[in-house]
């Protein structure tokens, strides 16, 4: 899940195909660490997005319009001064480094032709965009790195630009068999680690892929390989490097449960059993992949406070429930005390004064029992003592039975809110979750006008899917939506689905009076499994029944229902291929 040297090589090819020879028409800086270059070439217009964001460095062609600040930052103004109407001479990648060097030709103030370099380094937290002259002297950079920050390289105006060689790595495009066997395979490391720590631009993902192609355990030591296995690994490595040299790329995203999991510019046989999505453009891949990842990341960030509240409440309620269950278990001996009292009452007249115990036949089980006695009390008082213990434990049992049921319902309610937080994709989805937490006292209520509250509540809608057979399927994003779907939207003959025994969404399939095909039952079951706590399991049991069999108990919390007539199916929580209506 990184822009490794292969992906950068793929980008270089695409940028050369589209931007080479074009002129930079406009430069903007929408973020502190990002640029957008508007390039005109071959009667077309392209937007190149470059980001040196420490957590998400990126570079790709885009159609998206990004908002710009009213006043352009100094770095942007400098680039406009030098590069407006400048022509792109070359776009290169040194070795297989995660570096893109755009060489640009422009006219200076005197009308002389000059060349400059706009260099984008995709290196995690060390990412940067650096503007240099033709002698590799830094004119300026989007991030200034002084000697106090880095002892390896200063990135400041007037300093010489160079690529820092902080690790003993080799360019994989020029590594031959002897070098590979001598330098890489002699490292006392796991094979995959030896590959990505020895060769520039090779990520752990690609290292594992090479091992998989060679049918070698990536975690095995290099010393465990035979000569033949080492040679086989090199041949797979050589084929991959030849593909890069010949610019043969296959951009693709690996999907897990319909969500992006990994991406690469080469086929990943390591994920051959997973679904993949192929792209003609590496820019389109990166834009789609990171847009989805960014959406999930952003909503996770915005829901941090809610998650903390829910997690703390779940932990507190679970401790309370465990304590109540322990106390409830202690009341199991109440019936024994009742029997002791009855047996003392029946046979106590034979007990000698001061006796510490008595033996009697338990007429319920026909077994002889030994009953401890208080020698200071009469048999009648001993019997009364046991009856009092029985009465106290009985009252405790009755009270705790009610309390544990309430605590269990509260725990299930909180788990359902936690499941709803897991599937939230938009800020609007969090509004109803906040409302539910405030309604049940987990959060303090903040004043919101009725108009705004109504607008926010209406903004979030259930997920909407269409089955392969054309039936509409709806998935509640939270408990309020679950209730709305089940008891107001669905009618008697519509079908209702839910993960058995765990928190999850209600899934409603509209039948319009028709009989559902088996395939639609399976797809609705997959939705119920995926939008539940069973999402990470390989299989999940799903209960399903007609809506008319689902009831809301009096005083039941949102999303809580009961049903006594149902069918069950076991299904994978994989919704790949099910069409979603946006």
Rounded Cα distance between 395 and 472, Å, is 51
Residue with the two structure tokens 């997005």: 49
Residue 558 clears pLDDT 60, i.e. is over it? yes
In 199-226, which residue ranges form alpha helices assigned H by DSSP? 204-213
Residue with the two structure tokens 């499941």: 419
Cβ contact 412:560 at 8 Å? yes
Handedness of CA 370, 373, 379, 384 (dihedral sign): negative
Residue 74 clears pLDDT 70, i.e. is over it? yes
Largest CA distance in the chain: 125
Tens of pLDDT, residue by residue over 85-94, are 899 999 999 9
pLDDT at 166: 53
Give residues with Cβ within 8 angstroms of 528, minimum separation 6: 475, 497, 498, 499, 504, 505, 507, 540, 542, 544
Tens of pLDDT, residue by residue over 185-215, are 999 999 999 999 999 999 999 999 999 999 9
pLDDT at 423: 83
Query: 400 vs 327, 337, 389, CA distance in Å?
Result: 8, 19, 16
Chain-centre distance for alpha carbon 264? 19
Rounded Cα distance between 5 and 175, Å, is 15
Residue with the two structure tokens 């009953």: 371
Tens of pLDDT, residue by residue over 238-293, are 999 999 999 999 999 998 766 788 999 999 999 988 888 899 999 999 998 888 77
Mean pLDDT computed over 354-380:
89
pLDDT at 535: 87
pLDDT at 346: 87
Bridge partners, residue 568, by sequence: 543
Average pLDDT in the chain: 90
Tens of pLDDT, residue by residue over 139-181, are 999 999 998 888 888 999 999 999 877 567 899 999 999 999 9
Chain-centre distance for alpha carbon 182? 40
Record the pTM.
0.66
pLDDT at 259: 73
Cβ contact 8:123 at 8 Å? no
| Residue 290: its H or E element | helix 282-302
Rounded Cα distance between 568 and 579, Å, is 24
Give residues with Cβ within 8 angstroms of 126, minimum separation 6: 150
């Amino acid at each position: 899940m990184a822009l490794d040297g292969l992906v950068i090589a793929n980008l270089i090819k695409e940028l050369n195909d589209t931007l080479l020879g074009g002129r930079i028409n406009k430069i903007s800086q929408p973020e502190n660490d990002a640029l957008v270059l508007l390039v005109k070439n071959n009667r077309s217009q392209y937007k190149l997005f470059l980001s040196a964001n420490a957590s998400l460095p990126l570079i790709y062609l885009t159609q998206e319009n990004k908002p710009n600040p009213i006043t352009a930052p100094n770095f942007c103004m400098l680039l406009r001064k030098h590069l407006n109407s400048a022509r792109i001479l070359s776009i290169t990648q040194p070795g297989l480094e995660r570096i893109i060097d755009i060489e640009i030709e422009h006219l200076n103030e005197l009308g002389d032709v000059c060349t400059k370099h706009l260099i984008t380094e995709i290196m995690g937290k060390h990412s940067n965009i650096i503007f240099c002259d033709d002698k590799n002297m830094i004119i300026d950079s989007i991030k200034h790195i002084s000697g106090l920050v880095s002892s390896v390289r200063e990135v400041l105006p007037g300093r010489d630009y160079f690529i820092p060689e902080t690790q003993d790595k080799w360019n994989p495009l020029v590594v031959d068999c002897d070098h590979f066997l001598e330098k890489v395979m002699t490292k006392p490391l796991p094979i995959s680690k030896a590959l990505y720590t020895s060769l520039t631009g090779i990520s752990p993902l690609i290292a594992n892929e090479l091992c998989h192609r060679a049918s070698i355990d990536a975690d095995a030591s290099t010393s465990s390989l035979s000569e033949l296995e080492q040679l086989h690994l090199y041949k797979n490595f050589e084929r991959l490097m030849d593909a890069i040299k010949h610019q043969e790329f296959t951009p693709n995203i690996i999907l897990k449960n319909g969500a992006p999991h990994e991406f690469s510019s080469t086929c990943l046989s390591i994920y051959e059993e997973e679904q993949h999505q192929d792209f003609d453009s590496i820019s389109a891949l990166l834009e789609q992949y990171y847009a989805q990842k960014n959406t999930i990341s952003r909503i996770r960030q915005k829901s941090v406070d809610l998650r903390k509240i829910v997690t703390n409440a779940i932990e507190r309620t679970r401790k309370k429930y465990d304590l109540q269950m322990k106390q409830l278990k202690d009341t199991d001996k109440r019936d024994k005390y009742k029997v002791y009292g009855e047996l003392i009452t029946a046979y106590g007249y034979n007990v000698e004064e001061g006796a510490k115990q008595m033996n009697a036949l338990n007429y319920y089980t026909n077994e002889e029992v030994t009953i401890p006695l208080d020698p200071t009390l009469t048999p009648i008082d001993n019997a009364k003592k046991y009856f009092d213990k029985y009465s106290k434990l009985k009252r405790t049992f009755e009270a705790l039975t009610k309390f544990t049921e309430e605590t269990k319902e509260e725990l299930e309610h909180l788990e359902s809110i936690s499941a709803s937080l897991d599937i939230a994709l938009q800020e609007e989805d969090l509004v109803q979750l906040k409302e539910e937490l405030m309604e049940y006292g987990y959060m303090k209520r903040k004043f919101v006008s009725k108009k705004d509250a109504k607008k926010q509540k209406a903004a979030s809608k259930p997920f909407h899917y269409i089955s392969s057979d054309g039936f509409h399927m709806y998935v509640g994003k939270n408990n309020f939506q679950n209730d709305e779907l089940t008891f107001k939207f669905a009618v008697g003959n519509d079908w209702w689905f839910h993960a058995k025994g765990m928190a999850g969404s209600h899934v409603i399939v509209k039948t319009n009076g028709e009989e559902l095909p088996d395939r639609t039952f399976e797809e609705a079951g997959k939705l119920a499994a995926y939008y539940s706590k069973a999402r990470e399991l390989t299989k999940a049991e799903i209960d399903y029944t007609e809506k008319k069999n689902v009831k809301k108990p009096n005083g039941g919390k949102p999303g809580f229902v009961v049903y006594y007539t149902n069918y069950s199916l076991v299904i994978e929580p994989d919704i790949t291929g099910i069409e979603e209506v946006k």
